[in-house]
Amino acid sequence: MPWRVPVLLAVFAGGAWAQGRESVVVALSEVKGSEALPRLLFPQLRPTALAAPAPGAATPRGLGAEARTCTMTLAGKTIPLFLDRPEGAFALGILWCGKEGPFTGRARNLGAEGVLVTFDAVKSPAGPLLVRLHYLPGEADPGVRIEPATHRRGRALLAGEMREVILVDGDLDGRFDGPKDRWLSLRPDRAAKTPTVRQAEALLLSEPQVPFDESGRAFMVEGVDPSGRSLMLVLDTPKVGMDRVLARRYAEVRREYFGEFAEESLAFAQRNALDLGRPRAVEPVRWPDGTLSAAKAAAAAAKRPLLAFYFTESNPWCYRCEFYTFPDREVDALLRRFHLVRIDAEKDPERSLQQGGKGVLPCFVPMTADGRPVAFTMRLREEEGRVRDLEQPERAIAGWQRPEEFAENLRRILKAAGG
């Protein structure tokens, strides 16, 4: 079956709040990043590429033949990292940070996605770090991510609603009040059910939380204690617009995912029989953001079939469409025959995906130029590699597809839509 990720749709619990400013001081305590939910995926530092230690260089004693080294810049200093993988110790891994160490990691088997090794409290000039090594299938060296080992967390009641507030030292300078530090606020039940949060999904201290409530107010942070012991949570009319926050966040999430995809591309292509040599478009077509109702009107005026791309910021398979599928030259040429619209399923004011009964992302919904659904015979590649046509007509492409299958399905949609 195609890659499908269930939609976890957030619903903003707005209440009948009174107009005007409200605030509360939130006391924060330290939490180990690797033990808490949601897990904060904050790749603050990207070390240089791994390589074998240079002959004659100062290295820790006892490094194995498969040892690798890289460097990172932290607190104004260039610090070497040494990763060892001696025979029989692969499941744990051993790490040195400058002169500190050795530190022993914990491994988690991710199945087809490889092995993740986590080092909880690596000593550094800026304090403890959380280091993650991701060993992908078929690749000798791991990808490295370095993050704060701890964050600050607290709860408070504001405007009749309990909020769980998370504060992160985003630049690893030991303070929590800088322009690169991050925050987010969740309902306690949502925090318990959210497995991960990426850095880009969290907010800069200058940004209000989105979406805003019906009165136009939003949660904001003011008066942060540099030590991270407390902050003031405010509910008021924001000075920064929602569109600006969403644009920054989407661009940052996209860059982060694209960096990861570039690292994983060879292994991903091998697992999914993906031909990385297929011709690519010089400048792939852009998907404009909008609502379904506005896109229908524009498609009717242009006399073109409509293709709506539903996504969320936190779904990696939506970004894999942008990275692997849309830039394909054949796919790009077919997409240009549609009127396109991209809709965030979580923030769509019309909730058009939910009303249509779809529950899988990414999701592509085709319509004729006059707004009628298009039924077509969908081709897909199953996980075991077999390519087949479904017996029953479909009205949407649900899940990520290789360029070959996606292009064939676009041709069938165009034929069925008369485009």
Asked if residue 362 has a cis previous peptide bond (ω within 30° of 0), the answer is: yes
Q: Which residues of 160-170 are buried (b: 16+ CB within 10 A; e: fewer)?
A: eeebbbbbbbb
Tell me, what's the pLDDT at 385?
A: 83
Q: Which residues lie below 8 Å from residue 264, measured CB to CB, with a gap of 6+? A: 136, 143
Tell me, what's the pLDDT at 62?
A: 77
Tell me, what's the pLDDT at 51?
A: 87
For residue 54, the SS3 value is: coil
Residues of the chain with pLDDT under 70: 1-19, 86-92, 357-358
- Answering whether pTM is above 0.75, one says no
Q: CA-to-CA distance for 50 and 54, rounded, in angstroms?
A: 12
Tell me, what's the pLDDT at 9?
A: 38
Tell me, what's the pLDDT at 400?
A: 95
Tell me, what's the pLDDT at 87?
A: 55
Q: CA-to-CA distance for 351 and 343, rounded, in angstroms?
A: 10
* Residue 303 backbone phi and psi in degrees, to 5: 55, 45
Tell me, what's the pLDDT at 201?
A: 86
CB neighbours (10 Å) of residue 372? 12
Tell me, what's the pLDDT at 267?
A: 87
Tell me, what's the pLDDT at 15?
A: 37
Extract the tokens encoding 123. 């000593």
pLDDT tens-digit series, residues 116-158: 888 888 988 778 888 888 888 877 778 888 888 889 999 999 9
Q: CA-to-CA distance for 263 and 190, rounded, in angstroms?
A: 31
Tell me, what's the pLDDT at 358?
A: 66
Tell me, what's the pLDDT at 10?
A: 37
